[in-house]
Chains A and B, each alone.
Chain A
Amino acid sequence: MKGFRNLSTAARLTLISVVICGLLFPIIMTGIGQVAAPWQSNGSQVYYDGKSIGSDLISQDFSAPVFFHPRNDSASGVDPDITLTYALSQVPRIHNATGIPESFLNATLEKYTQYTMFFFGTKYVNVLNVNLYLMESFPSIYAPYVQ
Chain B
Amino acid sequence: MLTLEDLFVVAVVWGTVIVLSWFLSSYLLGVFTGRKSRLDRILVPVENFIYLLAGIDSSKNMGWKEYFKTLLYLNAGEAILAFFILMFQQSLPLNPMHYSGMSWSLALNTVLSFSSNTNLQHYNGELTLSYLSQMSAIQFLQFTSAATGLAVGVAVIRGFAGKARTIGNFYYDYVRSLTRVLLPLAFIATIILIFMGVPQALSGYPTVSTLQKGATEILYKGPVASLVSIMQLGTNGGGYFGANSAYPLQNPSQLSDLFEIGMMMFIPTSLLFLFGRMVGDNREGRTLFLAAYAIYGIDLLIAFLSTTVIGRGLEVRIGGVASTLWTVTTTAFTTGSLNASLSGFNPVVILTAFFGMLIQAAPGGVGVGAMYLIMYVIVTIFLVGLMAGRTPEYLGVKIEGSDVKLAVAAFLTHPIIILVPTVVAFAIGAESTVGLAANATGFTRIFYEFTSAAANNGSDYLGAAGNTVFFNVATGIVMWVGRFLPILFMLAIADGVSTRKRSQKQGLKTGSISFVVILVFSIFILTVLTFFPFLVLGPVLQFLQGMKLSIGGVIFGL
Complex interface residues of chain B between 167 and 226 (CB less than 8 A to chain A): 171, 174, 178, 183, 186-187, 190-191, 194-203, 206, 208-213, 215, 217, 219-221, 223, 225-226
Task: Verify if B86 is at the interface (C-beta below 8 Å from A).
Answer: no
Quick check: is A107 within 8 A (CB to CB) of the other chain? no
Known contacts A18-B81, A147-B209; A55 and B74 CB within 8 A of each other: no
- In Å, the complex CA distance between A55 and B211 comes to 11
Judging by beta carbons under 8 Å apart, are A116 and B70 in contact? Answer: no
- For residue B340, which residues in chain A have a CB less than 8 angstroms away from its CB? 75
Q: Which residues of A contact B171 (CB under 8 A)?
A: 9, 13
Q: Scoring B residues 431 to 470 as 1 if CB is less than 8 Å from chain A, else 0, what string do you get?
A: 0000000000000000000000000000000000000000
**9 nearest A-B pairs in the assembled complex, by CB-CB distance:** A22-B140, A116-B319, A33-B200, A75-B246, A22-B136, A21-B143, A10-B73, A57-B248, A61-B215
B residues neighboring A (CB under 8 Å): 5, 8-9, 50, 53-56, 69-70, 73-74, 76-78, 81, 135-137, 139-140, 143-144, 171, 174, 178, 183, 186-187, 190-191, 194-203, 206, 208-213, 215, 217, 219-221, 223, 225-227, 230, 241, 243, 246-249, 252, 254, 310, 312-322, 338-341, 344
CB<8 Å pairs between A and B, sample of 29 = A7-B73, A10-B73, A13-B54, A15-B81, A17-B78, A22-B143, A23-B136, A30-B200, A30-B202, A33-B200, A41-B194, A41-B225, A51-B209, A54-B219, A57-B248, A62-B211, A62-B212, A75-B243, A75-B315, A75-B338, A76-B248, A77-B243, A78-B247, A81-B315, A83-B316, A117-B9, A117-B321, A121-B319, A147-B209
Instruction: Report A143 CB to chain B, min CB distance, Å.
Output: 10
- Measured CB to CB, the residues of A under 8 A from B are 5-18, 20-23, 25-27, 29-30, 32-34, 36-37, 40-45, 48, 51-58, 60-64, 67, 73-83, 114, 116-118, 120-122, 124, 128, 131-132, 135, 144-147
Q: A112 vs B320: C-alpha distance in the bound complex, in angstroms?
A: 21
**Residues A16 and B53 in contact, CB atoms below 8 Å apart:** yes
Query: Are A145 and B213 neighbours in the complex by a CB distance under 8 Å?
Result: yes
Query: Which chain A positions have C-beta within 8 A of B196?
Result: 40
A17 and B248 within 8 A (CB): no
Given A33-B200, A42-B201, A83-B310, A122 and B319 contact (CB-CB distance below 8 Å) = yes
State the CA gap A114–B319 with chains docked (Å).
12
CB nearest neighbor in B for A5 = B55
Contact A40/B199 with A58-B248, A74-B312 known, Cβ cut-off 8 Å = yes
- Please give me the residue from chain A that is nearest to B142 by CB atom: A21
Using known A-B contacts A37-B195, A40-B194, determine if residue A135 contacts B225 with beta carbons closer than 8 Å.
no
Q: Are A40 and B197 in contact (CB-based, < 8 A)? A: yes
- Tell me the bound Cα distance from A64 to B210 in angstroms: 13
- B54/A16 in contact, CB under 8 A: yes
User: Which residue of A is nearest B144, CB measured?
Assistant: A17
